[in-house]
A and B are shown apart, each in its own frame.
Chain A
Amino acid sequence: MDGGVGYADMDALKATELRLGLPGSHPPEKPLPTTTTTARPTKRSLDEDRAARRETSEGGRATSARATKAQVVGWPPIRSYRKNSFQAMKATAEAAGLYVKVSMDGAPYLRKIDLEVYKGYRELREALEDMFKCFEGCKGSEYAITYEDKDGDLMLVGDVPWEMFTSSCKKLRIIRGAEAIRGLGSSQ
């Protein structure tokens, strides 16, 4: 290995390199020896792998940098005891979910959904349609999905990026019938 090459340069080079392939995979490393194989095939390292994969597939959650750079074994040097404690914490935090009430005009009771489960608006719409199918009635009318944001205003779902929506949405309301058509007007 060349003694004089700056490692920062190589990293910068790698970052700009174009390559074909799925995020998370990359061609065999050059002479710089890094320990990329797992030394300890315990259930914990498998969990870590799964957690890492889950994070990269969830929309908007993982940074792209994390997906392309291989995680080196044992770096940063944190004991697995501590890492596992945090995984448990993060898991419970994730399990907590982002539950919001969903009301629909004319429905006798409300529902609750976990916004974190959906990757985007299309999935949300489909899920809501599914959930409220029984209340459609024979009219099969127009409806608009709206939400109440942090400031208490009634907003139309779909205008802002998904992440912004999930962080500001307090409750959902499905408006049906004449009101919906009036509200939407030409914007649909």
Chain B
Amino acid sequence: MTEDCDGEEKDEETRRWSPGQGGSSSSSSRGGGSGTSASSPFKNRCVRGRVDQPPPFSGQVLENVLENVLQFLPCRRDRNASSLVCRSWYRAEARTRLELFIGNCYAVSPARALGRFRCARALVLKGRPRFADFNLVPVGWGARFSPWVAAMAAAYPWLERVCLKRMTVSDADLALLARSFSSFRDLTLICCDGFGTPGLAAVAELCRNLRVLDLIENDVEDEDEEVVDWISRFPETDTRLESLSFECVNCPVNFAALEALVARSPSLRRLRVNQHVSVGQLRCLMVRAPQLTHLGSGSFETVPVADGAAELDVAELESSFVASKSLVCLSGFRMVAPEYLPAIYPVCAGLVSLNLSYAMTTAEQLKPVILRCHNLQTFWVLDTVGDEGLRAAAKTCKHLRELRVFPFEATEDSESAVSDAGLVAISEGCQKLRSILYFCQRMTNAAVVTMSKNCQDLVVFRLCIMGRHRPDHITGEPMDEGFGAIVMNCKKLTRLAVSGLLTDKVFEYIAKYGKLVRTLSVAFAGNSDLSLRYVLEGCHKLQKLEIRDSPFGDAGLLSGIHHYYNMRFLWMNSCKLSLRGCKEVAQRLPRLVVEVFGDQNKELDGDAVEKLYLYRSLVGPRDDVPSFVKIL
């Protein structure tokens, strides 16, 4: 089949570049051709061949068959592979790709992406590098949604879903989105900024088919006078809402409007409210929507009650949980009053996911809850529960897949109640663990080695020893052996974050054993350029490398020249890079965009490079570069 395609391919090329030829009667050309059929998705799905026309040439039939087959391929990596087979497959795949995933918004331009994939109905777009979450990327760096939404308004009138991560989305963008797509149904914004309640109001009011509005950890800023009652803007009729998450919208909501909205949303399954919803109000919402599967519980305490209203009885709250028989995911607990926590006991046995990471629960408060959660697979918690709390979780949660332990005091010198003991307990109790994020102050190589042996299914291992350069707190040794054991024993590992006192040795291990590692995060580690060289030469699957405050210089940077086109990005800040080295990379790799920048208000001076962000791109340097960024 491939040969046939190639043969026809050449004919197709000749036909396209020779305007004199053409038409469907010639035996060496095909009817229709790909150029015209790409204009509308509906036409492609129609059966080809009318009675008065000669039957379509076999090539055309094959493309149609291919399109029908490719529709069953949802996975983008499979689609990428199939598009490389030949031009015909490329075109067929491009016509049938429904979800467009763009991991770096600057790797391609809206025009180019939309030009290739003319039938997409969903867009997933990621912008800023992850270290932007930690204030390492100055404000105004870029990743604006505006050019994308403007292009899509023209090209994708049938757009249904948009998911953005670390992008800047303005109220105007949201308004344009709401106006332009009549079938729009799902909007998910993660770690975005630039918008406020006016934008949300536009979405609520104009997206009549809205099913999902998930706002996750966004920076929603409103000037006090400009707060809009966006909840009231949803249509008065029954809605199709399935999911509504607004924990990050940090302003009071019109509760009466929210309650009414929930009451007229029969499909609602996921509701996550912000901390301005008290536990008494939450109960009202739960009564309205007993079919919820995912609940974000808001403050979970009684804010000053309205005049005359009685304080909520724990037993009353518990009865609401008893009635919510479908709950599998519980989060929120932003200000949790400990006496209300037992109200959730009735649903614990059914919980698959529990997020207590904003609740300052002690081990004693956690135990009765966690001991009931036999089916828990995802558990996010604060380190206030201590090693003892983790032991309790390890005892019960035999099916745990993902654990995240966040620090209550996120400073280098804080006392943390979790340590190597907690890690060992988890590894012994939860051997099916796939993903762990663990913040602590005291760790040992032995504990990490134990985890590497007990939890062989680990795919994500992120350990953050908060004090910089901290060694094994018992032996005083660097943490090389621990992380080495992780890459050696956990053969499925794709994501790794290292911390503590680390020498070049750990990178040698990572290079040697971490053959599947795609994402690596490094901070305050290593002794020399050797570390960087090991990783760039040894980790063949490496896609995302983010490094801060490590003594890696130009030599290390240049050792990755052979690999940078295979990566999504490399980020380095506060290392030992110079302009000379970065320029050399830029010169030798023309399809790489090499951005160099310092802090927002300082001009780039001298030869030292404070921040480097490089990424492959099909469209060269972007045109929205702020003054503090220099593209080499």
Chain A residues engaging chain B, CB cutoff 8 angstroms: 1, 3-4, 6-8, 11, 33-35, 37-42, 45, 63, 65-66, 69, 71-83, 85-86, 89, 92
Contact = CB atoms under 8 A, between A and B. Distances in A.
Given A82-B217, A85-B358, 4 more contacts: A7-B468, A7-B501, A40-B600, A86-B358
A77 B134 contact: yes
A112 B574 CA distance: 52
Interface stretch (B98-106, B403-411, B511-519, B561-569): B403-411
Interface string B268-279: 000000000000
Interface stretch (B6-14, B76-84, B136-144, B152-160): B136-144
B53 interface: no
Nearest to B469: A7
A82 B406 contact: yes
Contacts of B407: 76, 78
A77 B408 contact: no
Contacts of A72: 412, 468, 549
Residue among A11, A42, A76 with the most chain B CB within 10 A? Answer: A76
Nearest to A38: B135
Interface in B202-224: 217-219
Contact of A8 (B133, B135, B413, B469): B469
A162 B574 CA distance: 43
A39 B600 contact: yes
Given A8-B470, A33-B574, A35-B574, A81 B219 contact: yes
B321 interface: no
Nearest to A83: B410
Contacts of A79: 133-134, 191, 217
Given A1-B551, A65-B413, A39 B137 contact: yes
A14 to B, nearest CB: 11
B397 interface: no
Interface of A is mostly: loop
Interface residues of B, number: 49
A66 B411 contact: yes
Interface in B77-121: none
Contacts of A3: 527-528, 551
B117 to A, nearest CB: 32
A120 to B, nearest CB: 24
A33 B360 contact: no
B489 interface: no
Interface of B: 131, 133-139, 191, 217-219, 248, 334-335, 357-358, 360, 406-408, 410-413, 439, 464, 466, 468-471, 476, 501, 523-524, 527-528, 548-549, 551, 573-576, 599-601, 610
A42 B132 CA distance: 14
A157 B48 CA distance: 95
Given A7-B501, A8-B469, A33-B549, A76 B575 contact: no
Contacts of A33: 549, 574-576
A157 to B, nearest CB: 30
A45 B138 CA distance: 13
A6 to B, nearest CB: 7
A39 B599 CA distance: 6
A42 B140 CA distance: 12
Contacts of A69: 412-413
A73 B219 contact: no
A11 B412 CA distance: 12
A76 B335 contact: no
B523 A77 contact: yes
B524 A7 contact: yes
A35 B549 CA distance: 8
A63 B415 CA distance: 10
Contacts of B551: 1, 3
11 contacts: A3-B551, A33-B576, A39-B135, A65-B413, A69-B412, A71-B411, A75-B468, A79-B134, A82-B217, A82-B358, A86-B408
B411 A8 contact: no
Contacts of B573: 35
Nearest to A77: B134
Nearest to B527: A3
A79 B549 CA distance: 18
B501 A8 contact: yes
A6 B134 CA distance: 26
B602 to A, nearest CB: 8
B470 A77 contact: no
